[in-house]
Structure 1
Amino acid sequence: MTTFGEIVEPTSRSTWEDWDDIVPEQTITKLALQESTGILAKVESFIILEGKYLTELVALHSQHELEVLNSITKVNLHIYKEKSLNSYLCVVKDYNLLQSSEIVELLKPFLLVSKNVIAIQTKPLAEYQSSEVTNTDCIIRAVFTSNLASKYLNFNYPRLEQPNIITGLSAGVICMSDFLNLPGVAIICYLECPEEYRIDEVQNLLKKLNIIHNSASRPNTILNSNLYI
């Protein structure tokens, strides 16, 4: 007997079909600010802190004078007015990257009234790609807009090298700032241990921006205890 012309399927296909790999599309709701922006006052800087690590550092700092202006609760985004510095501070964590462009559009009114735009995000050190071997637990790089005419953007961090890229809200805000011809910088902090809250390089960066004034203590969590040591 010959099998010529017959369709012989692999045994693995008996347990699945092509359509089994189709993942249902996630339902993404339309975002909106809780309050109307109205007429915003001119400020020196619009600072964005992206990620759990940076937002918790701000929460740990009790002396910071912040006035809540607006928020987008669906993406854990909150905007504050820093009274003493005359700046807006935006903190965001745990959001869907597909919503980055929509969030940037909602933040556009704040960008337009800010003399400087500064976005800071953290990434695992393992994601940093370089031909040089480094023995440090923190590497900081920056991406600048074309307009650098600002004393507040006097950062001496090296430019982010290729093939490294930035994504998410920080990337979107800096692209928008460059389009609007605003001075802006995105600072990327590559960290070996993101759960460590006493990384000097990051603390010094936030102190330079007057976001914190003292070294922040660690949160009281199991990850930072010696319960299982």
Structure 2
Amino acid sequence: MDLFGEIVEPISRALWSDDFMEYPENIGFMFRTQLQWKNDVMTVPNRIETLIVIETNELLEIVEHCLPVNKTALNKLKEVQLEVYDMQASTYIVLCRFATSTIYTEITEVLENWLKNSNNIVCLTSKCNAIYQDDCHINEKNTFIRHLTVKPITNTFSQVLKSPNLITGLAAGILTYSMINGLHCTSFMVYLEVAPLDSINTKHVLDLLKCYYKGPIKPYKLSTKLPKNNVYM
């Protein structure tokens, strides 16, 4: 399946010169990642049925409230606050809490063995639904999901993402890597309403997760917290 997109030359391109072709060892130095696993001797499972990669604060909050990921992580990348969890039944979840646009390629590189050993890769990222561009009017109060995929999928929770809308971040990097290497990957863009998360606007996300994770999923409950900087008389 063809996906639209664009290629952006890396920042390092400005430093490229013919000297690098004469001294190949310089190429490895330029592109060697600085990210290191906390447990660098850990062996990646040979067979992973489903690898779920989740980023953005809103989606991470939903996962932490509704999925049992409060146990000890299998491994971590401290620099980007990335953690890998074993969710049983050959399903693993990767939570990326912090990353910048210049480091997504490095994260994808470090996850390479996890990606290659996975039968199915699912990425979730999110944006505000107000920025979605479409000819049809969409109620901005609703949460909806769009996706790009290497192989066609069938579900009732999302539609194919249409141009000029883009999937960015780690979800885009992993999808691109999967296309190049012939891996089965789908990246979902969750368009969330600008409102506190509750049981209504998180329902589509939880329904989507149930398609790939067969363990227990609790409904999201809105927690009412008073602002710490307010004084009530």
TM-score, normalised with respect to structure 2: 0.73
| Distance change >3 Å, CA 222–CA 181, structure 1 → 2 | farther
User: Structure 2 matches for 1:33-182, cutoff 5 A?
Assistant: 33-36=37-40, 37-61=42-66, 63=68, 68-83=73-88, 85-135=89-139, 136-145=141-150, 147-148=151-152, 153-156=153-156, 157-182=158-183
Per-residue deviation at 1:202? 1.5
CA distance in 2, matches of 1:138, 1:62: 20
C-alpha deviations, 1:142-179, integer Å up to 9, x for none? 1011x45xxxx543421100000111100000111111
Q: Does 1:204 align with 2:226?
A: no
Cα RMSD over matched residues? 2.5
C-alpha deviations, 1:54-105, integer Å up to 9, x for none? 212222236468552111122121111111x311100112321210000000
Aligned-partner residue type, residue 143 of structure 1 = L
CA distance in 2, matches of 1:194, 1:76: 26
CA distance in 1, matches of 2:148, 2:37: 28
Secondary structure of the corresponding residue to residue 98 of structure 1? coil
Give the aligned length.
192
Q: Which runs of 5+ in 2 are unaligned?
A: 1-32
Secondary structure of the corresponding residue to residue 110 of structure 1? helix
Which residue does 1:8 correspond to in 2? none
Contact 1:67 1:82 in 2 (8 A): no
Per-residue deviation at 1:53? 1.4
Secondary structure of the corresponding residue to residue 97 of structure 1? coil
Q: Highest Rg: 1 or 2?
A: 1
Structure 1 residue ranges (4+ consecutive) displaced by more than 6 angstroms after TM superposition = none
Which residue does 1:11 correspond to in 2? none
CA distance in 2, matches of 1:65, 1:186: 24
| Distance change >3 Å, CA 71–CA 140, structure 1 → 2 | same
Secondary structure of the corresponding residue to residue 197 of structure 2? coil
The 10-residue stretch of structure 1 (164-173 or 57-66) with the greater mean CA deviation from structure 2: 57-66
What percentage of residue pairs aligned between the two structures are identical?
25
Which residue does 2:194 correspond to in 1? 193
Which residue does 2:20 correspond to in 1? none
Secondary structure of the corresponding residue to residue 183 of structure 2? coil
Q: Which runs of 5+ in 1 are unaligned?
A: 1-28
C-alpha deviations, 1:180-228, integer Å up to 9, x for none? 11111001111113631322212211233336522022345447xxx99
CA distance in 2, matches of 1:49, 1:212: 18
